[in-house]
Each structure stands twice: as structure tokens, then as C-alpha cells.
Structure 1
């Protein structure tokens, strides 16, 4: 029989999932602002990457303490929330612990959930200590302040509340405790409520049950506004990651065509080329998020803000302004700004006289990069800040001729002398005669 609380539950569930779907559509729209790029090659290798890196957390454990703690939280949170399916069925149809017909297996399942809940609480406490007491450098850097810094703590508090509600829900479930199967942890919490009347215990159990499922729906919708969006996006991000060897850069098709034309002795450089009136002039490099490809924008949304990239960046370690983490955060912030512009103008982007370059990321940051790939190697979910840096450098050099003086001198020397040094090609081997 369906009661008013079942109808209320259906309404809450519909609102929560509906809002989540709305945010997913907005997220997809923003990622599609990027240029098209084909990442359908070598599916076997891509599935392997996703299984090993996103699911298996293989790159997380390169830093063992953080890696093990993260695996506990990751596994615990995902597995424990399998019981959400039972809560949804109970909430919609008025049943109570509908999967209890599984008997002993159900006890083992819930018992493992309770143990994992405690482990998650321990791991979350350790994470909080690392951020707020020990204050590891990568969590106190100037590029991680305000909302991004507070966001990490909010997520930790969320996890504490959700795990605690799960244990309280079990501890105050009289039927579950009487079965004495699966209450491995909650049986020790249950006596805390022994002074309450039967009615009061039932109220606590129902309150914990409702707060737990509502909390999960709130958490689900908070993901879009949080760095923890990587819980969902780590999987596609590792699948679509660049499989080329690190350090291999892609060539611009327009430049390649020009070079081939120059090297073809039979080509007529003055021949008229067919003109497509509907064609959009291509830009060399990137100055805004629309110039980046969609995988780079997916990277920005997937960024965990863990700071491993910045802590391993040699430029950052020597005091330069560059922070690969900030590059990703700035890209995401600009993408969100463009998305809000589109929403405000009924699906059309109206130029706002702003861009990712200069308004968010400065040339000084870009030119500080040594292109060593340390940030790419360190990222636990295969994000590449370097690809964004190099595309924006391309724009500065090829569109604005705004390279640093030392780089301009080198390119001039290569053009005139065939070498980066300022002497005649005929003198290139004189060094061998010095001794």
C-alpha cells in the first residue's frame, strides 16, 4: 500500500535526479564548446587505462599514504552507496530492508558496509588533519584559496555526515538489530539510544534514513559545483586521454599544408585557392576555451585540485608563477563563465571582451613552463595541463608574435643561420678545432 511518505519520497527523488540531469546537460554543453578531436583510436589500450587508472587507482598509490587513504574513501563510498538501491525501493514501495530475503549474504553485505563506513571515517579524519593541521604545502599554496580550499573541507564533512547517518540508521533499526546479522559496528552504537522510548528510537531511525538519502541526493548535485566531479569524469577522462608518447606534440593542419606547399617543387604558391564563403578562419593556437579541444575542457572539469602537478613542477619549485593546477582551475572557471553567458543570452555566446589568455592566465605563467611533462606524469587521472599551455603559447607566437625576446632571437637565428646560435652556418663546427 502506498502512503503519503512514499509519494513524498518519489517527489524528492524526482527533484534530486532531475536537477542532476539538468547539470549533466549543462556540463556536456560546456565541454562541447571545445574543438573536435578524434580519440577513438586503440580502444583496447583506452579501456585498459580506464580500468587501471580510474577504477584501479594505479597512479594514486605512487604517493602511498594519500593513495591508500583515497582508495579506502573511494571504495567505501562507492560500495556503501550500493545500499541506496535498497533505500529507493523501500522509499517508493513502502517496504523495509527489501533485500533482507538474501539471509546470511545480506548480513555479510551490510556488515562489510559498516566496516567500510568506519574506515572511511578514519580516512576522512586523516585527510582533514593533513589539510588543516599539518597543512601540507600543496594544500596551502596561493593558487588554492577561497572556494577551492573550502570545497575540499565541505566534501570531507559531507562524507562524515553520510557515513555517520548510515551507522545511526542501522543502530536504531530495531528489526535489524534483533536479527543480529550484519550489525558488526552498529551493535556497539545501539546502546547509546537505549534510554529512548520505542517511539523515539523509531523517530531517530526514520530521521537518519531520510537524511541519509536526501544527503546523498544533495551530494550528487553538489558534484557539479565541486572538484569532486572527478568521481564521475575520471572514467571518460582516462579513456579519452592522449595515447601518444609524452613530449610528442600535434601538428597544426594548416601549418602542415603550408610547409608541404613550400617543399613541393611542382606547386604554384600563387595559384588561386578555392574559397569557401561559409568557412571559419582557423586560429593558430588558443586564446580562449572555445579554441581548445573538448578533451582539454573535459580535463579541466576532471581536475581534482590535488596539487600533485604543481608540487612536482620545476618552474613552480623555483618560485615562478606557473601552477599547472591553476591552469586547469582557470580553464574550468572561464568555461563556466562562458556557459553562464550562453544561458543568459538564450543559447548564444555574446562576446564579453574577456578571454582565458590574459584575463585568467598570464603570458608570464605560460612562458615559465619548461615542457618537462612532470605535471602530466604526476596527475592521478591523466590530465594534461601542458597541452593547454602549449596551445596558448602557439597563439602568442603565431597570432601575436609575442614570444619572449630570447625566444625570438633563437627563432631568428634558426631562420638565418640554421642554428639557434648567432653565428654563420660555416662556423658551426669550429668548436672541434679549439683544442
Structure 2
């Protein structure tokens, strides 16, 4: 028996899964660069969110056309790839359609028939997606942040899916024994006649070629995910689980800020006194965020999960009125900077070497941050529970509390509140006169 194909298959499988595991390890390392945050609360609600939003695609269907097409691709791609298990067993042990020996022919035929129907639906849906993106040119796919790579990346995935579905159907159509069984060849029976005039040996070569290209294509696709916006295929589940469960309008209240305020309001505290023996002698934590390491690991997970679909930006009132802010760009910039920091660490033996850059300023400008109205439209629109607003708020905190760099109007308001107890420049004795008018 010739074991060379089995050995080659095992090598390809080992290399593909090994490289994927290496990238997953790097991904986890980069996410853990963020600050720790407690997300152990409301477990039942978190499970419900993950089931409804990630598994059930609950927020996708708010835009019915894209939502239904996405569900077809999502379900089809996952279910069809269940056949990968059979391919792996066949590839490692030299069998052919091993499940046909385990399952009744009718059951096996029903499964493969379902896979073929889904493959055809996926192929059609992907074509519609390609037309929407490249022919109709829906506006949210062509915003300024959608440079050459994001545009190409989206198309590469569409081409990948079309090729993989085609290979699956051709593989079935050229499997002479499978076609002779006449069970499960719901779609491939119409493709099989294309090869009817060829010698049986040639048809077998085509079948084997499609089989090999299909599994190698899946391994390539798997490893491409790390470099693509389609990483959300894997990360949507943890991201929706760890997503915000508190009311959207409720901002977090950092402990460091609370301590500072209490110290300022307590007349008995000397802010310049040395800490008492045994007390926490550390300097106050950095307020807000200027770089990715200052953000929480959940926010960094958000950045990697971003699908770049643009629903957030298309709902953003600031963006719609011509402001510079794009919530999608906030997430893309955060991910790009995080990748840059990760490469820096890789190049310096596991240590980060100051590169003179940071997220705020080099990637995201203050003008973008102050354009935000904190309306939460972007958070509500995101189909995978990403929270761009939380990153905006953290960088605003840094600008205000570390650099005193708030806009003039905001500084005036805060000065009035401090001096007059109201945001308007009225004497404290006059601040309630409005009620008498």
C-alpha cells in the first residue's frame, strides 16, 4: 500500500494547525497586554447574549438583506465544514468517504445532499455580497478608512469562499462511486455531465485534485483569519460573552478617579503629605488611555473582533454630519496599533521597546474623539457587541486629566461648575433664578 499521500496529508495538517496555533498564541498574548478587568458578573445574561447575538445572529437581521445572506453563509460554511472531519480521517488513514461505512446510505446521502444545497446557497450569497461591495458600492464599504487592504481583504475572503464551495461540488461531481449511489448528489448531479466525456482516469485525477485543494484551501483560510477582519468568525463568541451588560449610557467609574475626588473633597487630607506607614505608597494610576496597553483586555478583544462592516459608522450622527469621527476607524486603528506593539515585542525578545508612538496622536486624533456625542448609536449598531465608545471615553479621560487638553468650551464649562456650581457663568446666588421666570 502506498502511504506517501497519507504522510503528505499528515504533514500538511500538522503545518497548517501548528501555524494556526502559533498565531492564536500571539493573539492571546496581544490581548493580554490590556489592563485587567472583572467581567465575571451576570453570567447568565452573558451566555444569553452570546447565544442570541453570536450564535443566533440576532443583530445581523436588523438589516434584512445583508442579515439573511450572512446567516446563509454562516450556517452553510460551518455545516459544510463538518465534512472536514471525514476528509481528515480519509487523509490520515487512506480511506474514502469513511462515514459511508458507518452511517446508513440514506442518512449519509441526506447529509451530503444538505451540504450541497448549502454550498450552492453560499456561492450565490457570496456573489451577491461581491456585487453589493464592488458594483453597487454601498457607501459604508467605501469610507476613507477603507483603504486598499481592507477592501482587498473583504474580496479575498469572498473569492476564498467561492473557490471552496466550487471545489466541494466538483469533488462530489467527479466521484464516480458517489454519483453511482445516486443519493446526496442533489447539486453535483448537474455538474457531473460536464466531465462525462473524459476518461475515467482523468475524472479520478480531477476528483483527487479537488479533494486536495479543498482541504489545503481550508487550512490556508484558517491561517489567513489572523491577518483578516474575518477573525470575528472565531472571536465573535467570546466578544459577545464579555460584552457590556450594564445599561449603555452608564459609564465606568475608575477607582483612581474616585480616590482623587474624595481626597479633594476631604478638608482633613493633606495632598502633599507622605503616605502613612503600611499605606499604598504607589503613585496614582494613569488616568485614561493614550496607548493600547492602557486599555482593558476586553477593549483589545473588541479591536480584534471588528468586522469592518461599517454599521457603526453609518449610524454615527457625528460622521453623518461630516465630522472626522468614524467608530469603525477607532477600532481599526486600535487593532493596527496593537499589532504594531506585538511586532515590537517579537522583535525585542518579548519586551516592548519604546518606539515613540502611541495610539492617541499617531493613529487617533483628538478631533475625532471630541466629535463623539456619546449617543451609543455605534454600540447599538454593532452586530458583535463591540464598544467603540468605551475607547473614546478612555482617551478623552487622558486628554482631560493628564494633559488638560479639553476643548475651550468644555474647559469653560468645568471651570463654571467648579466656581459657580453650574455650567453657566452665573453667580452662585443667581443660579436658580430661572425658576422664577
* Equivalent of 1:135 in 134, 137, 145: 137
Give deviations 1:354-412, integer Å, cap 9, x for gaps. 00001000000000000000000000000000000000000000000000000000000
- Select 2:156's aligned residue among 154, 157, 164: 154
Q: 1:335 to 1:278 in 2, by over 3 A?
A: farther
From the superposition, tell whether residues 356 and 153 of structure 1 become closer, same or farther in structure 2 (CA, over 3 Å): same
The correspondence of residues 9-408 of structure 1 with structure 2, limited to 5 A, is 9-101=9-101, 102=103, 103-264=105-266, 271-274=273-276, 279=282, 282-408=285-411
Q: How many residues align?
A: 434
Deviations 1:121-153 (A, max 9, x none): 110011001001110000111111210111000
User: Which is worse superposed, 264-273 or 98-107?
Assistant: 264-273
In the aligned structure 1, how far is the partner of 2:34 from the partner of 2:52?
A: 27
Whether contact under 8 Å (2:110, 2:183) holds in the other structure is yes
Give the C-alpha shift of residue 260 in structure 1.
Answer: 2.8
What runs of 5+ residues in structure 1 fail to find an aligned partner?
none
The normalised TM-score by structure 2 is 0.97
SS at the partner of 1:196?
Answer: coil
**1:298-317 residue CA offsets vs partner (Å, 9 max, x unmatched):** 00000000000000000000
Match of 1:421 in 2: 424
Q: Is the 8 A contact 2:379 2:389 kept in 1?
A: yes
Cα displacement string for residues 270-307 of structure 1 (whole angstroms, at most 9, x for unaligned residues): 65315889957521000000000000000000000000
Distance 2:83 2:124 in 1: 21
Bigger shift: 268-277 or 133-142?
A: 268-277
SS at match of 1:259: helix
CA distance in 2, matches of 1:278, 1:253: 16
Q: State the secondary structure of the residue aligned to 1:407.
A: helix
The 1:403–1:270 alpha-carbon spacing in structure 2 relative to 1, beyond 3 Å, is closer
3-state secondary structure, aligned to 2:136: coil
Unaligned runs of 5+ in 2: none
**Residues 2, 94 of structure 1: 8 Å contact kept:** no
1:331-364 C-alpha deviation (Å, 9 max, x unpaired): 0000000000000001000000000001000000
Task: Tell me which residue corresponds to 2:413.
Answer: 410
For residues 37-88 of structure 1, what are the alpha-carbon distances to aligned partners after superposition, in whole Å with 9 as ceiling and x for unaligned? 0101111111111000000000000111100000000000000000000000
Q: Is the 8 A contact 2:256 2:284 kept in 1?
A: no
For 1:433 and 1:236, how far apart are their aligned partners in 2? 54
- Provide closer, same or farther for how the CA distance between residues 139 and 4 of structure 1 changes in structure 2, counting only shifts above 3 A: same
Alpha-carbon shift at residue 254 of structure 1 (Å): 1.3
Alpha carbon RMSD of aligned pairs, Å?
A: 1.5
| Aligned mates of 2:317, 2:22 — CA distance in 1 | 41
Work out whether residues 104 and 181 of structure 1, in 8 Å CA contact, stay in contact via their aligned partners in 2: yes
The farther-off stretch of 243-252 and 88-97 is 243-252
* Runs of at least 4 residues off by over 6 Å: 275-278
Q: CA deviation at 1:259?
A: 2.5
Secondary structure, aligned partner of 2:202: helix
